[in-house]
Structure 1
């Protein structure tokens, strides 16, 4: 199943702009002197770089290519729990690329796991089955269905609630140390329509369990959806501070015509985020970020998506899960 990820590379070479080619030329020139070293020594040096660097080094010479493709190198890029190469893979590199190009189901099919291709950082999606959904076991409010394009056996379809609350947790020990992560809710509209999310934001929360979470407001309905005369879709351009003010005052969200002047969010310098379409047929919106350092292994990250203040009814949303992957802007 395809998932969104950044920083892909081509192990066969090629692609990229002129600046990237210049950088690679410098690296290749600096590394060519290692040709005279034993191959094991070259492999040991390459193993302290990154998967992307290993692919660049492989284009220097036959000796460097052999060293860069060795199991000694690619085993270091694999997570310890995946260091044993399955019998159906011819090399550690092939196994690594399989984990980077496609996700695998873990935890009895409740989570999916893959590697960010360029760095080897761990990525996860917590399925809807792995989340705590208020009223999720009541058929009048939520329905558990099969969707062919989902990577999981079941997804959660929202039938009708006025209290929208979804929570999830993941152990920090499962994630890559020294990594800045972004958190996304992955969803779609049932029958290409939803109700109650087009003019009211939801609150996303991300933080360590037992500590105050970082909160943000996002829309789960894009301003580009709906019919042309549907006034509910006219919130495009509303600033984060304007949404926050209305949200905290507990008043119905005001509809703002497109093009109307709105207050600029000087603190955050951005508008409230809207969903973006992915290449796998789902949509996503970022609800928060966090950082994993070397001392966080025993902690947990708690994630929440809520709209409990407005009191209006909401329906027509299908939640596949919550995706956790390294920030695109980080190395």
Structure 2
């Protein structure tokens, strides 16, 4: 009899017994409080653990805390689509992490999926490029290597100048601005991408100058030689700091090589890009 009682007690407390607390017994409300402390990728991983975490992972208060402080401005004033605000915050976050075009498709905005940081892209068609309408110097060529259908291609010019300007309500933080450039024009031959270096010249004689200024009085200038033919390169223009999210920050930036003692050519201008500096470090390390 004693043996039977002992065996019965063991059976009640063995693994899998309904009397033993399990991870799935955690209430969704408690699981949600845990998930709120994690980054978006970690939330998505834990959502696969069990039903409790899966249900909790959709809580609006979790994802609203991951959205940037200016997400309503982005939806209402930039994308001009207030129907997005009717979505669950998780769906809204996912939608904003995709490239969202605006300004007639000449610019894009998206959130970094890991941090919720705001990223911007300004296409070559939204930049002021000296001589862009003169086909002796510049052409717009189709490409599959850009966010945009075309990039600006320089055949040859004496005075090279690309200017850009953007005014935006950024969340508080430090941001980095880049130009995405490539020496040479690519094409496909027998299904493989090849680089045509026919027009590349002049960039090894004098460096180009990058400049960035903001409406808050910040200013950065740097110089470098363009190199690495055949590959898209992110050239860092500089960083700027946003301290007041309630005031629009105006950023002016440029890329110039205006020494008219020689011509330069064979350059593709894709876009200017703005990333939170922490995100930019990850991008540069992977490129």
- TM-score norm. by structure 1 comes to 0.61
Structure-1 residue corresponding to 2:13: none
2:225 and 2:44 map into 1 onto residues whose CA distance is 40
Corresponding residue for 2:201? 195
Name the SS for the 1:204 alignment partner.
strand
Out of 243, 258, 261, the position equivalent to 1:308 is: 258
Alpha-carbon offset, residue 134 of structure 1: 1.4
Larger radius of gyration: 2
How far the C-alpha of 1:103 sits from its partner, in A, is 1.7
2:273 matches 1:318: no
Cα distance between partner residues in 1 of 2:260 and 2:218: 23
Q: What is the aligned partner in structure 2 of residue 134 from structure 1?
A: 130
Q: Which has the higher strand share?
A: 2
CA contact (8 A) 1:172 1:296 kept: no
Q: Does 1:74 align with 2:63?
A: yes
* Structure 1 match to 2:244: 294
Spell out, residue by residue over 1:259-303, the C-alpha distance to the aligned partner (whole angstroms, 9 max, x if none): xxxxxxxxxxxxxxxxxx5xxxx3322121111222562330111
Residues 120 and 198 from structure 1, CA distance in 2 versus in 1: closer, same or farther, beyond 3 angstroms? Answer: same
Q: CA deviation at 1:120?
A: 0.6
Q: How far apart are the structure 2 equivalents of 1:118 and 1:304?
A: 30
Instruction: Identify the match of residue 125 of structure 1 among 121, 127, 137.
Output: 121
Alpha-carbon distance in structure 2 between the residues aligned to 1:111 and 1:50:
27
Q: Offset of 1:56 from its aligned partner?
A: 6.1
Structure 1 residues 210 and 76, CA, compared in 2 at 3 Å: closer, same or farther? closer
Contact 2:172 / 2:245 at 8 angstroms: preserved in 1? no
Q: Which runs of 4+ in 1 moved over 6 A?
A: none
Contact 1:184–1:287 at 8 Å: present in 2 too? yes
Aligned-residue CA RMSD (Å): 3.3
- Tell me the matched-pair count: 236
Note if 1:217 corresponds to 2:211: no
CA contact (8 A) 2:173 2:242 kept: yes
Question: Counterparts of 1:1-331 in structure 2 under 5 Å?
Answer: 35=26, 39=29, 43=32, 46-47=35-36, 50-52=39-41, 54-55=43-44, 58=47, 62-78=51-67, 79-80=71-72, 81-82=74-75, 84-85=83-84, 92-100=89-97, 102-173=98-169, 175=170, 177-188=171-182, 189-191=184-186, 192=195, 193=197, 194-209=200-215, 211=217, 213-222=219-228, 225=229, 277=231, 282-295=232-245, 297-309=247-259, 311-328=261-278
Q: For residues 171-226 of structure 1, what are the alpha-carbon distances to aligned partners after superposition, in whole Å with 9 as ceiling and x for unaligned?
A: 131x3x2221111111222253221113431111122047362101122222xx49
Please report the TM-score for the alignment, with normalisation by the length of structure 2: 0.69
3-state DSSP of counterpart to 1:197: coil
Work out the CA distance in 1 between the residues paired with 2:246 and 2:161: 27
Q: Distance in 1 between matches of 2:218 and 2:175?
A: 17
2:157 is paired with a residue whose SS is coil
Q: Specify whether residues 178 and 35 from structure 1 end up closer, same or farther in structure 2 by C-alpha distance, changes over 3 A only.
A: farther
Deviation by residue 1:63-107 (Cα, 9 ceiling, x = unmatched): 3442223344224434223485499x8x6435533543x422211
Residue 312 (structure 1) shift: 1.6
DSSP 3-state at the match of 2:125: helix
Instruction: Give the Cα–Cα distance (whole angstroms) in 1 for the partners of residues 42 and 104 of structure 2.
Output: 35
Flag structure 2 segments of 5+ consecutive residues without an equivalent: 1-22, 76-81, 187-194, 283-287
TM superposition shift of 1:35:
4.2
